[in-house]
Amino acid sequence: MPQDYAKALKWYRLAAQQGNAVAQYDLGVMYYKGQGVPQDYAKALKWNRLAAQQGLAAAQNNLGGMYYKGQGEPQDYAKALKWFRLAAKQGYAMAQVNLGVMYRDGHGVPQDYAKAVKWFRLAAQQGYAVAQFNLGNMYRIGHGVPQDYSEAVKWYRLAAQQGDADAQGNLGVMYTRGLGVPQNYVAAYKWHALAKGAAKPANNAYKHASANMAVLAPLMTPAQIAQAKQEASAWWAAHHKGG
Protein backbone atom coordinates (compact mmCIF):
# COMPACT_ATOMS: atom_id res chain seq x y z
CA MET A 1 0.00 0.00 0.00
CA PRO A 2 1.19 3.61 -0.45
CA GLN A 3 3.30 5.07 2.33
CA ASP A 4 1.06 7.03 4.70
CA TYR A 5 2.65 8.49 7.83
CA ALA A 6 -0.67 9.78 9.17
CA LYS A 7 -2.22 6.31 9.17
CA ALA A 8 0.95 4.77 10.59
CA LEU A 9 0.85 7.35 13.36
CA LYS A 10 -2.79 6.53 14.12
CA TRP A 11 -2.17 2.82 14.58
CA TYR A 12 1.09 3.25 16.48
CA ARG A 13 -0.69 5.63 18.84
CA LEU A 14 -3.52 3.17 19.50
CA ALA A 15 -1.03 0.42 20.35
CA ALA A 16 1.24 2.78 22.30
CA GLN A 17 -1.64 3.95 24.47
CA GLN A 18 -2.22 0.31 25.42
CA GLY A 19 1.38 0.09 26.62
CA ASN A 20 2.97 -1.65 23.64
CA ALA A 21 6.67 -0.78 23.96
CA VAL A 22 7.56 -1.19 20.29
CA ALA A 23 4.66 1.05 19.26
CA GLN A 24 5.73 3.63 21.85
CA TYR A 25 9.23 3.56 20.40
CA ASP A 26 7.93 3.88 16.82
CA LEU A 27 5.67 6.76 17.83
CA GLY A 28 8.67 8.44 19.44
CA VAL A 29 10.68 8.03 16.23
CA MET A 30 7.89 9.65 14.20
CA TYR A 31 7.75 12.64 16.53
CA TYR A 32 11.55 12.84 16.47
CA LYS A 33 11.70 12.87 12.67
CA GLY A 34 8.50 14.82 12.08
CA GLN A 35 6.82 12.04 10.11
CA GLY A 36 3.06 12.54 9.92
CA VAL A 37 3.28 15.17 12.68
CA PRO A 38 5.29 18.34 13.30
CA GLN A 39 8.68 17.48 14.76
CA ASP A 40 8.36 17.52 18.54
CA TYR A 41 11.32 16.44 20.67
CA ALA A 42 9.34 16.66 23.92
CA LYS A 43 6.77 14.15 22.67
CA ALA A 44 9.52 11.99 21.16
CA LEU A 45 11.20 11.96 24.56
CA LYS A 46 7.92 11.07 26.30
CA TRP A 47 7.21 8.03 24.12
CA ASN A 48 10.81 6.81 24.07
CA ARG A 49 10.91 7.07 27.86
CA LEU A 50 7.77 4.94 28.22
CA ALA A 51 9.27 2.26 25.97
CA ALA A 52 12.69 2.55 27.62
CA GLN A 53 11.16 2.03 31.06
CA GLN A 54 9.80 -1.27 29.76
CA GLY A 55 13.34 -2.33 28.84
CA LEU A 56 13.26 -1.82 25.06
CA ALA A 57 16.93 -1.34 24.13
CA ALA A 58 16.31 0.73 21.00
CA ALA A 59 14.21 3.19 23.01
CA GLN A 60 16.81 3.31 25.78
CA ASN A 61 19.45 4.19 23.21
CA ASN A 62 17.25 6.88 21.64
CA LEU A 63 16.44 8.33 25.05
CA GLY A 64 20.15 8.42 25.87
CA GLY A 65 20.81 10.18 22.60
CA MET A 66 18.22 12.84 23.30
CA TYR A 67 19.68 13.55 26.74
CA TYR A 68 23.16 13.58 25.20
CA LYS A 69 22.13 16.22 22.65
CA GLY A 70 19.70 18.13 24.85
CA GLN A 71 16.63 17.41 22.75
CA GLY A 72 13.28 17.64 24.54
CA GLU A 73 14.99 18.34 27.87
CA PRO A 74 18.22 20.08 28.89
CA GLN A 75 21.43 18.23 28.04
CA ASP A 76 22.26 15.74 30.77
CA TYR A 77 25.27 13.47 30.29
CA ALA A 78 24.52 11.50 33.47
CA LYS A 79 21.07 10.52 32.20
CA ALA A 80 22.45 9.83 28.74
CA LEU A 81 25.05 7.52 30.27
CA LYS A 82 22.39 5.72 32.32
CA TRP A 83 20.21 4.91 29.31
CA PHE A 84 23.09 4.08 26.96
CA ARG A 85 24.46 1.67 29.58
CA LEU A 86 21.11 -0.10 30.00
CA ALA A 87 20.82 -0.63 26.25
CA ALA A 88 24.49 -1.52 25.87
CA LYS A 89 24.24 -4.22 28.52
CA GLN A 90 21.47 -5.79 26.45
CA GLY A 91 23.94 -6.02 23.55
CA TYR A 92 22.51 -3.12 21.55
CA ALA A 93 25.43 -2.21 19.30
CA MET A 94 24.56 1.44 18.70
CA ALA A 95 24.34 2.07 22.45
CA GLN A 96 27.66 0.31 22.96
CA VAL A 97 29.24 2.73 20.48
CA ASN A 98 27.58 5.71 22.14
CA LEU A 99 28.88 4.55 25.52
CA GLY A 100 32.34 4.12 23.99
CA VAL A 101 32.23 7.67 22.65
CA MET A 102 31.32 9.03 26.10
CA TYR A 103 34.27 7.25 27.71
CA ARG A 104 36.59 8.24 24.86
CA ASP A 105 35.64 11.92 25.06
CA GLY A 106 35.10 12.15 28.81
CA HIS A 107 31.48 13.26 28.57
CA GLY A 108 29.68 12.63 31.86
CA VAL A 109 32.44 10.25 33.00
CA PRO A 110 36.20 10.50 33.53
CA GLN A 111 37.93 9.91 30.19
CA ASP A 112 38.82 6.23 30.01
CA TYR A 113 40.23 4.89 26.75
CA ALA A 114 40.29 1.28 27.99
CA LYS A 115 36.55 1.35 28.68
CA ALA A 116 35.96 3.06 25.34
CA VAL A 117 37.84 0.23 23.61
CA LYS A 118 35.80 -2.34 25.55
CA TRP A 119 32.49 -0.95 24.32
CA PHE A 120 33.69 -0.31 20.77
CA ARG A 121 34.97 -3.89 20.60
CA LEU A 122 31.68 -5.39 21.78
CA ALA A 123 29.81 -3.56 19.04
CA ALA A 124 32.53 -4.20 16.45
CA GLN A 125 32.37 -7.92 17.11
CA GLN A 126 28.68 -7.76 16.22
CA GLY A 127 29.67 -6.41 12.80
CA TYR A 128 28.63 -2.80 13.45
CA ALA A 129 30.66 -0.72 11.00
CA VAL A 130 30.78 2.49 13.04
CA ALA A 131 32.21 0.54 15.97
CA GLN A 132 34.77 -1.16 13.75
CA PHE A 133 35.89 2.24 12.46
CA ASN A 134 36.19 3.64 15.98
CA LEU A 135 38.08 0.58 17.19
CA GLY A 136 40.44 0.96 14.25
CA ASN A 137 41.10 4.53 15.32
CA MET A 138 41.94 3.45 18.86
CA TYR A 139 44.51 0.95 17.54
CA ARG A 140 45.95 3.47 15.08
CA ILE A 141 46.46 6.12 17.75
CA GLY A 142 47.22 3.74 20.62
CA HIS A 143 44.42 4.84 22.93
CA GLY A 144 43.37 2.18 25.44
CA VAL A 145 45.43 -0.42 23.57
CA PRO A 146 49.04 -0.61 22.38
CA GLN A 147 49.40 1.12 19.02
CA ASP A 148 49.01 -1.52 16.34
CA TYR A 149 48.70 -0.46 12.70
CA SER A 150 47.94 -3.99 11.48
CA GLU A 151 45.04 -4.28 13.91
CA ALA A 152 43.83 -0.82 12.87
CA VAL A 153 43.87 -1.92 9.22
CA LYS A 154 41.92 -5.06 10.14
CA TRP A 155 39.06 -3.09 11.69
CA TYR A 156 39.11 -0.34 9.06
CA ARG A 157 38.85 -3.00 6.37
CA LEU A 158 35.88 -4.70 8.03
CA ALA A 159 34.03 -1.39 8.22
CA ALA A 160 35.16 -0.33 4.74
CA GLN A 161 33.82 -3.56 3.25
CA GLN A 162 30.43 -2.53 4.61
CA GLY A 163 30.64 0.80 2.81
CA ASP A 164 31.62 3.03 5.74
CA ALA A 165 33.11 6.10 4.04
CA ASP A 166 35.24 7.16 7.01
CA ALA A 167 36.79 3.70 7.27
CA GLN A 168 37.39 3.58 3.53
CA GLY A 169 39.20 6.90 3.72
CA ASN A 170 41.34 5.82 6.66
CA LEU A 171 42.18 2.56 4.92
CA GLY A 172 43.31 4.63 1.94
CA VAL A 173 45.59 6.64 4.23
CA MET A 174 47.10 3.45 5.66
CA TYR A 175 47.92 2.22 2.14
CA THR A 176 49.32 5.63 1.18
CA ARG A 177 51.71 5.66 4.14
CA GLY A 178 52.40 1.94 4.33
CA LEU A 179 51.07 1.62 7.88
CA GLY A 180 50.04 -1.93 8.75
CA VAL A 181 50.12 -2.82 5.05
CA PRO A 182 52.71 -2.50 2.29
CA GLN A 183 52.58 0.93 0.69
CA ASN A 184 50.30 0.71 -2.34
CA TYR A 185 49.12 3.83 -4.15
CA VAL A 186 46.67 1.91 -6.35
CA ALA A 187 44.91 0.43 -3.32
CA ALA A 188 45.02 3.82 -1.58
CA TYR A 189 43.45 5.61 -4.56
CA LYS A 190 40.80 2.88 -4.84
CA TRP A 191 39.68 3.27 -1.23
CA HIS A 192 39.67 7.05 -1.43
CA ALA A 193 37.56 6.86 -4.59
CA LEU A 194 35.12 4.57 -2.81
CA ALA A 195 35.01 6.88 0.21
CA LYS A 196 34.22 9.82 -2.06
CA GLY A 197 31.45 7.85 -3.72
CA ALA A 198 29.94 6.72 -0.42
CA ALA A 199 30.01 10.10 1.36
CA LYS A 200 27.82 13.14 0.84
CA PRO A 201 29.60 16.21 -0.59
CA ALA A 202 29.16 18.11 2.69
CA ASN A 203 30.69 15.25 4.68
CA ASN A 204 34.30 15.47 5.85
CA ALA A 205 34.95 11.99 4.42
CA TYR A 206 34.12 13.34 0.95
CA LYS A 207 36.41 16.35 1.34
CA HIS A 208 39.27 14.28 2.73
CA ALA A 209 38.92 11.67 -0.03
CA SER A 210 39.00 14.35 -2.73
CA ALA A 211 42.07 15.96 -1.19
CA ASN A 212 43.88 12.64 -0.79
CA MET A 213 43.16 11.63 -4.39
CA ALA A 214 44.61 14.95 -5.52
CA VAL A 215 47.77 14.25 -3.52
CA LEU A 216 48.12 10.72 -4.86
CA ALA A 217 47.49 11.47 -8.54
CA PRO A 218 50.89 13.10 -9.27
CA LEU A 219 52.63 10.13 -7.63
CA MET A 220 50.93 7.62 -9.93
CA THR A 221 51.08 6.76 -13.61
CA PRO A 222 47.94 7.13 -15.74
CA ALA A 223 47.79 3.33 -15.92
CA GLN A 224 47.84 3.05 -12.13
CA ILE A 225 45.06 5.61 -11.78
CA ALA A 226 43.00 3.76 -14.38
CA GLN A 227 43.59 0.48 -12.53
CA ALA A 228 42.53 2.03 -9.22
CA LYS A 229 39.35 3.43 -10.74
CA GLN A 230 38.57 0.07 -12.36
CA GLU A 231 39.06 -1.74 -9.05
CA ALA A 232 36.84 0.79 -7.28
CA SER A 233 34.11 0.35 -9.91
CA ALA A 234 34.34 -3.43 -9.65
CA TRP A 235 34.11 -3.29 -5.85
CA TRP A 236 31.12 -0.96 -6.03
CA ALA A 237 29.32 -3.19 -8.52
CA ALA A 238 29.98 -6.30 -6.44
CA HIS A 239 28.67 -4.67 -3.24
CA HIS A 240 25.68 -2.85 -4.72
CA LYS A 241 23.99 -5.52 -6.83
CA GLY A 242 20.54 -4.49 -7.87
CA GLY A 243 21.33 -0.81 -7.22
Q: Report pLDDT for 24.
A: 98
User: Which residues fall within 8 angstroms of residue 183, CB to CB, at 6 or more apart?
Assistant: 175, 176, 177
Q: Report pLDDT for 199.
A: 81
User: Which residues fall within 8 angstroms of residue 194, CB to CB, at 6 or more apart?
Assistant: 160, 165, 168, 232, 235, 236
Nearest residue to 31 via CA among 71, 64, 3: 71
> Vertex 197, ends 194 and 199: CA angle to 5°?
105
Pair 144, 114: CB distance under 8 Å: yes
* C-alpha distances out from residue 179 to 96, 141, 202, 237, Å: 28, 12, 28, 28
Pair 231, 186: CB distance under 8 Å: yes
> Vertex 159, ends 207 and 188: CA angle to 5°?
50
Nearest residue to 208 via CA among 179, 236, 152, 170: 170
Query: What span, in angstroms and rounded, lies between the C-alpha atoms of 209 and 168?
Result: 9
Q: Report pLDDT for 144.
A: 98
Q: What sign does the dihedral 195-127-154-158 (CA atoms) show? A: negative
Which pTM does this prediction carry? 0.93
Largest CA distance in the chain: 66
**Phi and psi (nearest 5°) for 53?**
-65, -20
Nearest residue to 159 via CA among 139, 184, 179: 139
Nearest residue to 133 via CA among 106, 111, 104: 104
What's the average pLDDT block by block, 10 residues per block, for the chain (243 residues)?
94 97 98 96 98 98 98 96 98 98 96 98 98 98 98 98 96 98 98 91 88 96 97 92 55
Q: Report pLDDT for 134.
A: 98
Query: What span, in angstroms and rounded, lies between the C-alpha atoms of 137 and 135?
Result: 5
